[in-house]
Amino acid sequence: DYVHGGSQKILAGVATGLKTNGHDVEIWCPHLDGNVDDFEIGNVIVHRTLKLRGTFPATHQVSPADLIETTQALRKAAEWANRVYLHADAIYLRQALEGKQIVRSIHDYMYEEALLSTLTLPADITIVPSEYLKACIEATVALTGRKTIEPIIVIPNGAHVPETLPQPQLPDDISPREENDLILLYPHRPEPTKGVSEALQTAAMIQNLDRSRNVRLLMPSSAWDKDMDESTISADEIRQTAEVYGANDIVETHEWLSAAEMPGYYAAGDVTLCVGSFVEAFGLVPVESIANGTPAVCASVGALRQFSAISGISLVPHGDIPATANAVLSAV
């Protein structure tokens, strides 16, 4: 029920979609804390047999013995499959997949795994979610001296648009909305480059600009989230940062939400913030927010710039807190 960001959500949709259309689909992924039991996502079997770290980044920073066992598991998977799809490709052990057609997807083109994949590892087809990312990969590959490149296909990420707007639903550990509340959503990993500092500064400035409203900034923070991604910060670190910017009475942290809870969460907010420096390969959050009736204010970074013509999405220069605050007030 829980996914760790947009990439996992897309993977679940791809796998279940293929299964629904009559294909045999199985997923192999890293174990987590020694748990190697199979489970299912929409009738798709998931094997937790890859002895990689299970923590991002540096996925392959494990013992040689674990790499050998992972190679054996990958070879077994390749023997079963007609085609191998490497989602957000971070598999270095290509020798285990020899003889199979490899389709990989690349998402955030700033991590070592994604860069090494496109620059050094073979694939028959690469799938990316935006023309922006395709241009980045093609330029990077060309300027580093590679003479050939596989076809790169752009398939934009999709968001479910409900027939009617969902009922607003705040997380269980968040107090109900009051009449004069101005609720800002930060539906991202609590990672500095995703805009923790920028969101806190924006919320504090909005409160100073409009004293008639009670500004509330909602931000997810979960203990298991740190285990999944070492770049995230804890709830205590969020509160420490909030104190620096005078936002400690504004920010409210809550547990990570399931995909099923997100429509109601978006609908419960007044504006969604996507204001970090993280170079998004697509930017699913503002699209999902608009689909559920809530405007979004985004830093003009990476592929977020492609949304300039979409009604309800406002772009601001990254780090320009006054412009961001004014964009939020204009959106409500």
Look at residue 3 in the predicted model and tell me its pLDDT: 47
The confidence score (pLDDT) of residue 58 equals: 81
Q: Of 221, 213, 216, whose CA–CA distance to 200 is shortest?
A: 216
Percent of the chain with pLDDT over 90: 76
Q: What is the 3-state secondary structure (H, E, C) of 159-176?
A: CCCCCCCCCCCCCCCCCC
Whose tokens are 């980045």? That residue is: 136
Mean model confidence pLDDT for the chain: 92
Q: Phi, psi at residue 160, to the nearest 5°?
A: -70, 130
**pLDDT tens per residue across span 146-203:** 889 999 999 988 888 899 999 999 999 999 999 999 999 999 988 899 999 999 999 9
Mean pLDDT of 270-299: 96
The rounded distance, in Å, linking the Cα atoms of 5 and 24 is: 25
Residue 68 has pLDDT above 50, yes or no: yes
* Range among 108-112, 225-229, 314-318 rated most confident: 314-318
Helices 112-120, 131-143: axis angle to 10 degrees equals 60
pLDDT band at residue 119 using 50, 70 and 90 as cut-offs: very high
Q: What is the pLDDT, as a whole number, of residue 177?
A: 97
32-51, pLDDT tens digit by residue? 777 889 999 989 999 999 99
Q: Tell me, rounded to whole angstroms, the distance of Cα 215 from its chain centroid.
A: 26
Q: What is the mean pLDDT of residues 269-290?
A: 95
Per-residue confidence (pLDDT) for residue 232, from 0 to 100: 78
C-beta atoms surrounding 271 within 10 Å = 23
Quote the pLDDT of residue 56: 66
Summarised one tens digit per residue, pLDDT across range 228-261 is 556 678 888 999 999 999 999 999 999 989 888 9
Q: How confident is the model at residue 1 (pLDDT cuts 50, 70, 90)?
A: very low
Question: Rg (Cα) of the chain, in Å, rounded?
Answer: 21
| Confidence at residue 154, expressed as pLDDT on a 0 to 100 scale | 96
Question: Which domains, and CATH codes, for the chain?
Answer: 6-154 (3.40.50.2000), 181-331 (3.40.50.2000)
